Structure 1
Amino acid sequence: MSFRKRNVGLSGTAKSDSDTTAATKDRTSLPGVRPSPIDGRPTTSTGTASLDSLLAGHSGLVLGSSLLIEESGTTDYAGALLRFYAAEGLLQGHHVHVIALPEQWGRALPGVVGDSEKKEKTSESAEKMKIAWRYESLGQFGASSYTRDTPLSRPTQRNPSGDNQAIPTLFCHTFDLTKRLVHPAAAKLDFLPLSGNPRESPFGPILARLNAAIAKSSSSTVHRIIIPSLLSPALYPSHSSNPQFVLQFFHSIRAILAAYRQQVTAVSSIPLSLYPRSSGLVRWVELLHDGVLELSPFPHSAEADIQPARGPGGTIEEQPQGLLQVHRVPVLQERGSGNATSENDWTFTLSRRKFTIKPFNLPPVEGDTEAQQASGSDLKAKKADVEF
């Protein structure tokens, strides 16, 4: 009669769990990559801190996922988000692949805000504060985890000299659209042109070059794929709008994301003025992306009618320039990993230095004096609580 111990776990399972944990730690130690606060998946920044906060609570774009940005009208707010995404990748040492754009686009990427400007901004805010410096430092430490100018301790860059000391890096930089980015010496930026042969898919050579570049790179290299203004006549040939070519292309992109789940992310944009969401082609393109956002800019007349609002400190906030709707966010497990946003409508504002996303709140009506007096009394109460 044989006997064996019960309640003993299998050694193979424990080993696989430890290997998975070690692989996750090695992946999140790369520059520009940190673990998700929800489930520990490696995430990277889109270059826009307020956009990172909307992506299912992961505070960034999870590696192996894709994002589609839709925009109506003749504006180019989606193009600014793509520039931030590309500039962030170059600063983090990632390999950036740009599709259907000329090389001049890479020279117009926004520059990083200098340390002197950050110090001036910090000194101005310090003069306005009327509390002790100890409490002020506590307030800065308790800020949101995806603040741009706060260096994070977890995403570190390995010291090339071989020492055990780690070099802390920023997860999300602050960019200035009026400046031009100075590309690092080891920057990897590729521009993949479309094929002009009308008898074949214009995306065929692009997929071949993408697969070759990712396969030849080391496992520690993170790749970013940028697909701007999808099917726009200014960039794409007329036969590229064939559904057979477009859907095959995005199926192949999803295959690349699945094969290199720990290395690749992709961000695309599409003009809704040319291809509305009611068309079947756009619906299929949305289904082939993990996240879908829609930008609806305000008309100039409506934007001028909106009165500037005041923040908690009495400072005048910038006027919103449009609405942002979150149609889908990356939910990366069958059990629903990731939290969907509670707000349905958001507003966005593009200034010289940042792209800000806030919940959509209507200001008080001009004739509603009670609401205006209530907001003014709340502001005075907050000031009275601070001053002592």
Structure 2
Amino acid sequence: MSFRKRNIGLSGSARADVPTQSATRAQVQLPGVRPSPIDGRPTTSTGTASLDGLLAGHSGLALGCSLLIEESGTTDYAGALLRFYAAEGLLQGHHVHVVGLPEHWGRELPGVVAEPEKKETPAEKEKMKIAWRYESLGQFGTSTSSRERSQPQASTNNEAPGQVQSSVFCHTFDLTKRLAHPASSQMDFIHLGTNPMQSPFLAVLEKLNASVSSSAPDTVHRIVIPSILSPAIYPPWSSQPQNILQFMHGLQALFAAYPSRGTAMMSLPLSLYPRSSGLVRWLEVLNSGVLELAPFPHSAEGDAATPRDSSGKTEEPPQGLLQVHRLPMLHERGTGLGTSENDWTFTLSRRKFTIKPFNLPPVEGDTDAQQAGESEKKAMKADVEF
């Protein structure tokens, strides 16, 4: 029977494994990326604040995920979301890949809205010095976006000239302006294959794999695919299942090989490819999130009553319904928070794309409901002002 002393420390080989594992777990700080408030996985903004708050509670699109936006009708609201997504990537220093469109599309990206500088009052200058580290937390009850805007932009002395350094997670864009591309921005346009004997997406996958594998470890890639399978952009043989499904599987394989290096957003015209078809069902399965935009008819927009917010100011009427078919839950245990709302409304204004729950306004002749709503607002204000 052999005996062994119990006061002998661990061997050198066992201790050598500890820093190796911790070094592999350490992640490179990526620009425009922050951890998810749910599980800490890296997320990036889609360029639309209300859309970030809808993605399973991650406050952004998790890296390694793709988002499919379906739209019915002849409108192009999904195209505006894709432009916000691409413009946000350029401002964050990401490498943006646009599939199937010419370079003219990149010159039409919306410009960023410059926030007005706030002048400090004498009362703000005389704040207690002990509370300086709590100023960035914001006030109780404020939203996440307002707290982010209150944080000052950090500037380092190690910035290279022309390098993009932004502390803003989600910018505000103006569709009437044009984005001035930063000097260090990377944006390429990938053309489809023209050989009818091969898949038109084969050249796209080769270009994406070569670009991601040869880039630096701290480079985040954004893949933009507007109006996928549209006859105005794609050749007729691109809609064959062996071509489009192979491309989607290749895109998911790219994200599996580089899980923290990129995201994708694409749009699909439902007028040409309805959700009842098996091909669209497979496209929805192979994407992490699926949203559907159903614009209202133009005649209904003028008949609808103009809504008002809590302060009495008029709001723009909703322009359509947004249905959530799938959210990026990310694995079988369902990491992420689902939404209890089935229908949402969206409004595209000059500066932002707003998503709100679908609520019917009160009937014009129903004065009791209007008075009850006003009394509830007064009671809420009395409770808050204590």
State whether TM-score is above 0.5: yes
Structure 2 residue matching 1:150: 3-state secondary structure: helix
Structure 2 residue matching 1:195: 3-state secondary structure: coil
User: Structure 1's 119 and 229: CA in aligned 2 closer, same or farther, altered over 3 A?
Assistant: farther
User: Structure 1's 147 and 249: CA in aligned 2 closer, same or farther, altered over 3 A?
Assistant: farther
1:1-388 to structure 2, matched below 5 A, reads 1-3=2-4, 15=19, 18-19=22-23, 21-23=25-27, 26=28, 29-116=29-116, 142-147=141-146, 150=149, 159-160=157-158, 169-381=167-379
Gaps spanning 5+ residues in structure 2: where? 120-134
Q: Which has the larger radius of gyration?
A: 2
User: Structure 1's 107 and 168: CA in aligned 2 closer, same or farther, altered over 3 A?
Assistant: closer
User: Structure 1's 367 and 112: CA in aligned 2 closer, same or farther, altered over 3 A?
Assistant: same
Q: Which runs of 4+ in 1 moved over 4 A?
A: 3-6, 8-17, 136-142, 155-159, 380-388
Q: Distance in 1 between matches of 2:323 and 2:6?
A: 57
What TM-score do you get using the length of structure 1 for normalisation? Answer: 0.86
User: Structure 1's 152 and 97: CA in aligned 2 closer, same or farther, altered over 3 A?
Assistant: farther
- Equivalent AA in structure 1 for residue 142 of structure 2: A
Root mean square deviation, CA, Å: 2.9
Deviation at 1:308, TM superposition (A): 1.4
Q: Which residue of 2 aligns with 1:125?
A: none
Deviation at 1:386, TM superposition (A): 7.7
1:49–1:148 CA contact under 8 A, matched in 2: no
Q: Deviations over 1:167-191 (max 9, x none)?
A: 7610000000000000000110100
2:95–2:187 CA contact under 8 A, matched in 1: yes
- Equivalent AA in structure 1 for residue 69 of structure 2: I
Aligned residues: 364
Compare 231-240 and 366-375 and name the one that shifted more.
Answer: 366-375
Q: Which residue of 2 aligns with 1:123?
A: none
Q: Distance in 1 between matches of 2:375 and 2:141?
A: 27
Q: Distance in 1 between matches of 2:298 and 2:171?
A: 30
Q: Deviations over 1:203-241 (max 9, x none)?
A: 111111111111110111000001110111111111111
Structure 1 residue matching 2:26: 3-state secondary structure: helix
2:344–2:356 CA contact under 8 A, matched in 1: yes
Gaps spanning 5+ residues in structure 1: where? 121-135
Deviation at 1:382, TM superposition (A): 5.2
- Equivalent AA in structure 1 for residue 210 of structure 2: A
User: Structure 1's 152 and 333: CA in aligned 2 closer, same or farther, altered over 3 A?
Assistant: farther
2:222–2:262 CA contact under 8 A, matched in 1: yes
User: Structure 1's 322 and 147: CA in aligned 2 closer, same or farther, altered over 3 A?
Assistant: farther
User: Structure 1's 386 and 35: CA in aligned 2 closer, same or farther, altered over 3 A?
Assistant: closer
Structure 2 residue matching 1:115: 3-state secondary structure: coil
- Equivalent AA in structure 2 for residue 2 of structure 1: F
Q: Distance in 1 between matches of 2:248 and 2:195?
A: 19
Deviation at 1:267, TM superposition (A): 0.5
User: Structure 1's 354 and 182: CA in aligned 2 closer, same or farther, altered over 3 A?
Assistant: same
Deviation at 1:365, TM superposition (A): 1.9
Deviation at 1:355, TM superposition (A): 0.3
User: Structure 1's 56 and 332: CA in aligned 2 closer, same or farther, altered over 3 A?
Assistant: same
2:111–2:177 CA contact under 8 A, matched in 1: yes
1:294–1:324 CA contact under 8 A, matched in 2: yes
1:52–1:146 CA contact under 8 A, matched in 2: no
Q: Distance in 2 between matches of 1:233 and 1:308?
A: 38
Q: Which residue of 2 aligns with 1:126?
A: none
Deviation at 1:339, TM superposition (A): 0.8
Identity of aligned residues (%): 65
User: Structure 1's 109 and 327: CA in aligned 2 closer, same or farther, altered over 3 A?
Assistant: same
2:136–2:147 CA contact under 8 A, matched in 1: no
Q: Distance in 2 between matches of 1:74 and 1:280?
A: 22
Structure 2 residue matching 1:372: 3-state secondary structure: helix
Q: Deviations over 1:235-262 (max 9, x none)?
A: 1111111111000011100011111111
Deviation at 1:379, TM superposition (A): 3.8
Deviation at 1:313, TM superposition (A): 1.1
Q: Distance in 2 between matches of 1:138 and 1:158?
A: 22
Q: Distance in 2 between matches of 1:53 and 1:381?
A: 28
Deviation at 1:202, TM superposition (A): 0.7
User: Structure 1's 291 and 113: CA in aligned 2 closer, same or farther, altered over 3 A?
Assistant: same
Structure 2 residue matching 1:97: 3-state secondary structure: strand
- Equivalent AA in structure 2 for residue 144 of structure 1: S
1:31–1:156 CA contact under 8 A, matched in 2: no
Q: Deviations over 1:356-388 (max 9, x none)?
A: 001111111223221112123334455667889
Structure 2 residue matching 1:352: 3-state secondary structure: coil
Deviation at 1:139, TM superposition (A): 6.4
User: Structure 1's 203 and 140: CA in aligned 2 closer, same or farther, altered over 3 A?
Assistant: same
User: Structure 1's 375 and 219: CA in aligned 2 closer, same or farther, altered over 3 A?
Assistant: same
